[in-house]
């Protein structure tokens, strides 16, 4: 395949014939290496379910960090109630759910996240008694809009 002379090496006729297929094999091997390297990176679609409270608090920062650390991951986000998201997670239509409280199911791994304060707000026109802490009885006289 090679002819060696004092300070040079050149291909023989047989070497010349084998050169194009050898170059193709090297290109295929290089593509295989690139593909194998990309497979070691986390990639794909993350189906993420998020409770409404999370959307308005720390979800934007979470998504920025996710993009920085896993640039090949695309995120599909579903915003709904904890009950609905729990059912979606249990039926494997979600990969991850960030909920308001744990799920009591042996097949689900719960991870407690940092807490943050929530407050109730109302119009000053309600003239609530006792501007400090209110009891449930104080609140029961008013219609309350909430979510589960």
pLDDT of 136 reads 81
**What residue ranges of the chain are covered by domains with CATH 3.40.190.10?**
44-98
Residues 69 and 65: their CA atoms lie apart, in Å, by 6
pLDDT of 129 reads 67
Residues 82 and 100: their CA atoms lie apart, in Å, by 6
pLDDT along the chain (148 residues), means of 10: 82 85 78 69 87 83 89 91 91 90 83 74 76 77 72
pLDDT of 38 reads 67
Q: Give the architecture (CATH level 2) of 44-98.
A: 3-Layer(aba) Sandwich (3.40)
pLDDT of 36 reads 66
Look up residue 1 and give its two tokens.
Answer: 């395949």
pLDDT of 144 reads 78
pLDDT of 7 reads 82
pLDDT of 86 reads 92
- For the whole model, what pTM was predicted? 0.57
CA-wise closest residue to 58 among 124, 121, 104, 118: 118
Mention every residue, 6+ apart, whose C-beta is less than 8 A from residue 84.
none
pLDDT of 23 reads 83
Look up residue 117 and give its two tokens.
Answer: 């304060």
């Amino acid at each position: 395949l090679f002819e060696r002379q004092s300070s040079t090496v050149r291909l023989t006729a047989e070497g010349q014939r084998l050169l194009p297929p050898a170059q193709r094999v090297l290109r295929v091997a290089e593509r295989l290496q690139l593909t194998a390297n990309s497979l070691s990176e986390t990639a794909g679609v993350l189906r993420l379910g998020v409770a409404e409270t999370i959307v308005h608090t720390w979800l934007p920062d979470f998504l920025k960090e996710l993009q920085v650390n896993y640039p090949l991951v695309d995120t599909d986000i579903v915003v709904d109630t904890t009950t609905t998201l729990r059912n979606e997670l249990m039926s494997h239509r979600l990969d991850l759910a960030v909920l308001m409280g744990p799920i009591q199911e042996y097949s689900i791994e719960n991870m407690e996240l940092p807490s943050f304060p929530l407050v109730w707000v109302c119009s000053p026109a309600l003239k609530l008694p006792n501007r400090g802490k209110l009891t449930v009885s104080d609140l029961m006289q008013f219609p309350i809009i909430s979510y589960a």
